[in-house]
Amino acid sequence: MENNNSLFNLRELLVFLIAPLLIGLLTLLAYIMYKSSISISVGTLNITGQFIGIFLALIAILFGGWQRFYAGIIDVLSKKITVNVFVTIAILVSILAGEFIPSAVIILIMAVVGSLEAYTIDKTRKSISSLLNLTPKTANIKIDGEERTVNISEIKLGDIVVVRPGERIAVDGTVVEGFSTVNQAPITGESFPVDKSVGDDVFAGTLNETGRLEIKATRVGEDTTIAKIVHLVESAQESKAPIQNIADKFTNYFLPTVLVIAIIAFIFTGNIKVAVAVLLVACPCAFAIATPSAVSAGIANMARRAVLIKGGIYFEIAGRIDTLVIDKTGTVTLGKPIVTEVVSYKIDKNELLKICASAEKYSEHPLAKAIINYAREKNIKVEDPEEFKATPGMGIEALVNGKRVIIGKENFIKSFNISIPDNVLNEYERQLHLGRTAIFVAIDSTLTGIIAIEDEIKSETVSAISTLKNLGIKDIIMLTGDNKNSAREVSKKINIDRYYAELLPEDKQNVVKELKKDGKIIGMVGDGINDAPALALADVGIVMGKAGTDIAIEASNVTLMDDNINKIVEFIKMSRKVLKRIKLNIFFSIIYNVIGLLLASMGKLSPVMAVMFQEAGCVTVVLSSTLLLFERIEK
């Protein structure tokens, strides 16, 4: 993420505070002029400082409060009692009673609070259309044996699309000629690039890595899998119901009560200022900022921990998560192949590894690179093969130091009339059962070994899962596009009881949808485009931002900038601390309101003193929330 996307960019903050600064300046000038003895004569008209002060105060009130007044009127017409209704009535009565400066101060406080709240929940999301950038704008199609470059919108069903190495595939389709490895992790979430040959299906937006492919288009434009993902994300985001603001719930009962108290106070005292003081001291400013101020501090605290949160509502929800759904590849694993075991027969393991790495040196296949890297980690010298030949989708044949080396799949080995003993086949089946990719090695027509490769689990995953369970999140589910064997073994290693394998993006979203039907509060953790629909539908979507795709970050609510899964633990713990602080803030604000109402109704507070008293409640709430900035989170 770039710095200009930070939730706490100073320039953006100043933009949000322009309106409150102007209101504050107008209010200050209004107070100065109202208290001054200035008198200006314009012809026969005599303009006093008090008149100028009232005029400036009214400008500040209208400039800063018109949106609240408008919202208050709409809420009244909709038969809803909200904070905006309360503020509108309090300001209107205060103006009618001639209390212009206190009214302007109230508007100033509400403007500052509103701007800070808008700033902290600003999502700074990129347009979802950026996902479609994965699909190329043009493509090469084959017509009468000749290639022609066309705009992607011109491709029709049945067209033959030619894709060269390094190019992205423009359509969903079936390979009719050629062989290549295709990185389709953005769509399926598979750990490694997948071999594609004649008859295999491919997806638009995936990356063709090594060979030339000719693809018959079966889905184009809006019908492609990647386009459907866009629509899935959009519909999931729209399905989220906003949580009603707790302050609005409170005012349903509080406003009528305060109005009755103000009327009774006026009847008994005969002083309109007493009634105004009651309304002003009861104005729920402290109550209104109880939540956003705590949320703002919590967001700032987490931002320093490389966790970006796109809205305070997700603190509230995260604190109640009871089910966590986690993607496998790139989330609990590193998403890159590593050699996990070398099984040798009739030869030293290191010698076998040296021969294999040397034989694979000229190969571009990801599994070949894993073997070479593993040999280098063990300080084994990788030599150049005298001969090298790759058979797409099957394996390689090479000559290393005069030895004929065959590496590849079972059928590839057998095509050289090399027999595979039963004990080797049993070992091969064992590796597959462990969720690994296993390849055979034959040297000089003799089956010599097996090399097992798998996706590496992140070092912090096991401890993070354990901590999450200790926090009360007992139901943790792993989703993956990988095969069932791989999913089963990874889930065992990280102590997760439930998993779903071989899932496409819509399948992952359907899992989340079914869980939500059961009334679960769902947190979803992922990193790829294939996770985006599920991230968007979950109550809280958490994305690994460093490795995560733009669309996954767009669809999520929380971004972990350093891809450390322990940050999920920190976020959950901070969410619960924020919830506790919000409740404490609400307690403070209610205490101030009750005491203020008693004093004002007894005539002990003037309108100005009433504003100062309720502002003291605001300060108390802000100080309480500020402590969250320095809150430590135990690992």
Higher pLDDT pick, 336 / 249: 336
What is the reported pLDDT for 324?
Answer: 94
Q: Which of 255-259, 299-303, 488-492 has the highest mean pLDDT?
A: 488-492
pLDDT at 14: 60
Cα distances from 513 to residues 253, 478, 546, in angstroms, run 36, 15, 27
Residue at 128 is within a domain: no
> Residue 179 pLDDT more than 50?
yes
* pLDDT band at residue 6 under the 50/70/90 scheme: very low
Assess whether pLDDT exceeds 90 at residue 372.
yes
pLDDT at position 171 over 50: yes
Helices (H), 471-565: 484-493, 505-517, 532-537, 550-555
The pLDDT-based confidence of 361 (bands split at 50, 70, 90) is very high
Residue 126 has pLDDT above 50, yes or no: no
- Mean predicted confidence (pLDDT) in 289-296: 77
Give the pLDDT confidence of 25-39 residue by residue, as tens digits.
Answer: 998 998 898 888 787
pLDDT at 610: 78
- The percentage of the chain sitting over the pLDDT mark of 70, rounded to a whole number, equals 85
Average pLDDT, the chain: 81
- Asked whether residue 228 is assigned to any structural domain, the reply reads no
Q: Answer yes or no: is 127 within a domain.
A: no
126 within some domain:
no
pLDDT digits (tens, 9 = 90+) for 513-550: 999 888 889 999 987 667 888 888 898 988 876 555 56
Stronger pLDDT, 168 or 630, i.e. the higher one: 168
CB 403 within 8 A of CB 355: yes
Residue 617 near residue 589 (C-beta atoms within 8 A): yes
pLDDT digits (tens, 9 = 90+) for 376-401: 999 999 999 999 998 877 889 999 99
130 domain residue, yes or no: no
**What is the C-alpha separation between 612 and 616, in angstroms, rounded?**
6
Distance, CA of 56 to CA of 73 (rounded, Å): 24
Q: What percent of the chain has pLDDT over 90?
A: 26
Can you give the residue range of the structural domain that contains 144?
136-223
Claim to verify: residue 260 and residue 341 sit in the same structural domain: no
Return the half-sphere exposure (C-beta side, CA atoms, 13 A cut-off) of residue 139: 30
Residue 62 has pLDDT above 50, yes or no: yes
Please indicate, yes or no, whether residues 480 and 624 belong to a single structural domain of this protein: no
Ranking 102-116, 157-171, 229-243 by mean pLDDT, the lowest is 229-243
CA distance 490 to 455: 9
The strand pairing partners of 213, in sequence order, are 163, 178
Q: Assess whether 349 and 401 both reside in one domain.
A: yes
Examine residue 511 and state whether it is found in any structural domain, yes or no.
yes
Model confidence band, residue 238 (pLDDT cutoffs 50, 70, 90):
very low
Question: Do 160 and 296 share a domain, yes or no?
Answer: no
- Looking at residue 38, what is its pLDDT? 81
Question: What is the predicted pLDDT for the residue at 1?
Answer: 37
Q: How far apart are CA 479 and CA 538, in angstroms?
A: 14
Tell me, yes or no, whether 280 and 424 share the same domain. no
pLDDT of residue 244: 37
More confident residue, 299 or 441: 441
For 61, residues 6+ apart whose C-beta sits below 8 A from its C-beta are 91, 95, 100, 103, 104, 107
In this prediction, residue 15 carries a pLDDT of 62
Same domain? 97 vs 142? no
Give the CATH number, domain containing residue 350. Answer: 3.40.1110.10
> Do 66 and 81 share a domain, yes or no?
yes
Residues 353 and 395 in one domain: yes
> Does residue 48 sit in the same domain as residue 87?
yes
Boundary of a domain, candidates 435, 456, 477: 456
pLDDT tens, residue by residue, 439-488? 999 999 999 999 999 888 888 889 999 999 998 898 999 998 877 888 88
- The confidence score (pLDDT) of residue 35 equals 85
Most confident of 36-45, 299-308, 454-463, 608-617: 454-463
In a domain, 357, yes or no: yes
- Kindly report the CATH number assigned to the domain that includes residue 473: 3.40.50.1000
- Last residue within a domain, chosen from 534, 550, 571: 571
Q: CATH no. for residue 150?
A: 2.70.150.10
pLDDT value of residue 565: 85
Largest CA distance in the chain: 116
> In which band, very low, low, confident or very high, does the pLDDT at 360 lie, cut at 50, 70 and 90?
very high
Same domain, 343 and 421: yes
Q: Where are the alpha helices (DSSP H) in 36-97?
A: 49-77, 83-96
pLDDT number for residue 546? 54
Q: Give domain status of residue 234, yes or no.
A: no
Residue 233 has pLDDT above 60, yes or no: no
Question: Is there a single domain that holds both residue 10 and residue 107?
Answer: yes
Between 200 and 254, name the one with better pLDDT. Answer: 200
Tell me the pairing of strands 403-408 and 395-400. antiparallel
The top-scoring range by mean pLDDT among 133-142, 244-253, 278-287, 413-422 is: 413-422
Mean pLDDT of 323-348: 88
**pLDDT value at 70 more than 60:** yes
Residues with active-site annotation: 327
When pLDDT is cut at 50, 70 and 90, the band that residue 188 belongs to is: low
Contact between 402 and 392 under an 8 Å Cβ cutoff? The reply is no
Strand ranges across the sheet with 138-143: 146-151, 138-143, 160-163, 213-219, 172-178, 201-202
Pick the last residue of a domain from 544, 571, 598.
571
Task: Give how many domains the chain has, as a whole number.
Answer: 4
3-state helix, strand, coil in the chain (%, to 5): 55, 20, 25
pLDDT band at 178 (very low <50, low <70, confident <90, very high): very high
Average pLDDT over residues 574-603: 86
Note the pLDDT of residue 377: 92
pLDDT at 554: 67
Whether residue 214 contacts residue 180, with contact meaning beta carbons closer than 8 Å, is answered with: no
Are 374 and 479 in a shared domain? no
pLDDT of residue 5 exceeding 50: no
Q: How many helices (H) and strands (E) does the chain have?
A: 21, 24
Question: From residue 85, how far is each of 57, 67, 70, 79, 257 by CA, in Å?
Answer: 20, 11, 9, 10, 14
Distance in angstroms (rounded) separating the CA atoms of residues 631 and 298: 9
Q: What is the pLDDT of residue 343?
A: 94
pLDDT (tens digit, 9 = 90+) per residue, 127-153? 344 455 667 889 999 988 888 999 988
